[in-house]
Amino acid sequence: VVSFATIATVIAAILALALCGALGWFLSRDITVRLDTTVKSMRLVAGGDLTARVRVQGTDELADAGSCFNKLARQMDDGMGRIRQVADDVAAAASELASAADQISNSAQAQAAQLEETAANIEEITSTLRDLLRQVIRAREPEVLTILDDPAAAKTIPEHLVEHALQAIGIWLQLMNIA
């Protein structure tokens, strides 16, 4: 026969085992749910959502891990915000530099066009002065033109004609300096 004390001990042991099992299930369920929530938030951050946070409950190790994770995610989000700001600043500066480069290029092209026009005008003035000089020389001494066309012929030209030619060349050079 089984005594009452034995039955009571067995029932107490079964109740203690049931209570330990229920308590173990409750604690493991709480840990599992909190750990699962933390892992989901970690996956969101790993996927690029730096705003994901863990809801921190309690003061145990899982709560401490959640707080550390939230701090890490916040620092990463802040860092990315600063990086975005720097990238925006760099893009704005690059745009300003491109605009300045365009203005410089346009100015250089305008100056080049003005320079070409000035060169053409100088060439026209030079041609006009050359023609004018020839007319002046023809009017004074037609033989002097030979010196301008063939410098070797200067040896056969009388001295006074060479002097007239040199004077005409001097006038021409003075006119060129004015232009």
Query: 37-93 pLDDT, tens per residue?
Result: 899 999 999 998 999 999 898 888 889 999 999 999 999 999 999 999 999 999 999
Q: Structure pTM?
A: 0.50
- Distance, in Å, from the CA atom of 108 to the CA atom of 84, rounded to the nearest integer, reads 35
What does the pLDDT average to over 157-164? 67
pLDDT of residue 131: 80
pLDDT mean across residues, the chain = 84
pLDDT interval class at 162 (50, 70, 90):
low
**What value does the mean pLDDT take over residues 144-165?**
63
Question: Measured between alpha carbons, how far is 32 from 41 in angstroms, rounded to an integer?
Answer: 14
Contacts of 126 (CB under 8 A, 6+ apart): 176, 179
What's the pLDDT score for residue 178? 59
List, for residues 93-128, the tens digit of each pLDDT value: 999 999 999 999 999 999 999 999 998 988 888 788
For residues 136 and 168, the answer to whether their CB atoms sit within 8 Å is yes
Band of residue 142 on the pLDDT scale cut at 50, 70, 90: low
Q: How far apart are CA 46 and CA 22, in angstroms?
A: 35
Residue 31 exposure: Cα atoms within 13 Å on the Cβ side? 8
pLDDT score at 31: 86
The reported pLDDT for the residue numbered 79 is: 93
Q: Which of 59, 88, 55 is nearest to 73 (CA)?
A: 55
Tokens of 151: 């410098």
What is the model's pLDDT at position 81?
93
Which two structure tokens, joined as six digits, stand for 121?
């005008």
What's the pLDDT score for residue 122?
A: 85
pLDDT at 111 (0 to 100): 94
> Confidence class of residue 173 from pLDDT cuts 50, 70 and 90?
confident
